[in-house]
Structure 1
Amino acid sequence: MPLKIMKLAVTAGGVTSLTPTVERFFHEAAATVTGAGTLTINVEDFWTDTGADAAVLPALAANNSYFNAYVNGVLQMNDLLVYTPGGTGVGRLEITVPAGSTIEADSPIVLIVTNFVPSTTVDITT
């Protein structure tokens, strides 16, 4: 019999799913902020989707998350935002208001935090 490379007879297939967890937080600016300035919104100043006071701003999962902030319905540039997760006294959103810009009193501010939980199932048949 001639020499021959021996190989395993294996097949494999996988399915990856990505489940998002979306949390939304709401605030109304208490006073007008004129740039150059910063609007800081602490976690206890946000409301949740149910209208309850927010207790914790969620952590961002490394490489599987993002946040967006809207002022008066308009998505804001990422470089104007600083997001700090955490509970009372820690969690906050800071919005830099550049010179020449204004956030009017009573403007709605919406923070949306999205974390993804990836999972993969692999089936190997021999």
Structure 2
Amino acid sequence: MATLFKLAITADTTTTVLTKPDVQRYFYLLDPQHIDQDTGTLTIPANAFVDDQENPVANITLAEPDNGYYLLFINGVLQQDTLYTVASDNVEIPDADDIEVSAPITLIVTNFAPEADSQTTVNT
């Protein structure tokens, strides 16, 4: 009679994941000269923003597709992402003619550079 051989194996896997966020914050006080009087669209040039150290910004960091995101606050209120557009040289906010002069506008750009490492130990 044939005998069935059974393998007895256990395996342990440990995975370490680092999300490694890179957060850039840009600050701006609404200047009415940046609002198009015909359309009401606010176009904030990159050089009108300052960073965390109050340094003027040359370009806006873009969010990586599928690995980053934007948060835009107007007067401290988070805005829906469909209400603005971000490019490396400006931020556009349509229908902005109701925003108060000198209202603070904050753009936060978060990108991730994740790393994962798995170690598997097989015991027989």
The alignment's TM-score, normalised by the length of structure 2, stands at 0.81
Equivalent of residue 94 in structure 2, options 77, 93, 96: 96
Name the residue aligned to 1:120.
Answer: 116
Number of aligned positions between the proteins = 119
Structure 2 residue 57 is the aligned partner of structure 1 residue 54: yes
Structure 2 residue 103 is the aligned partner of structure 1 residue 107: yes
Shift of 1:17: 2.1
Q: Where in structure 2 are the equivalents of 1:30-41 lying within 5 Å? A: 30-31=31-32, 33=35, 37-41=40-44
* Greater shift in the superposed pair: 114-123 or 29-38: 29-38
Name the structure where strand makes up a greater proportion of residues: 1
The alignment's TM-score, normalised by the length of structure 1, stands at 0.80
Name the residue aligned to 1:71.
Answer: 74
2:56 maps to amino acid: D
Indicate if the aligned counterparts of 2:62 and 2:86 stay in contact, CA closer than 8 A: no
Shift of 1:25: 0.3
> Where do 5+ consecutive residues of structure 1 fail to align?
none
Deviations 1:60-96 (A, max 9, x none): 1221211111111111222111011x3xxxx211111
Percent identity over the alignment is 29
Shift in CA distance, 75/9, structure 1 to aligned 2, threshold 3 Å = closer
Distance (Å, rounded) in 1 between the aligned partners of 2:61 and 2:13: 36
Distance (Å, rounded) in 1 between the aligned partners of 2:84 and 2:38: 14
Shift of 1:27: 0.9
> Where do 5+ consecutive residues of structure 2 fail to align?
none
Indicate if the aligned counterparts of 2:16 and 2:116 stay in contact, CA closer than 8 A: yes
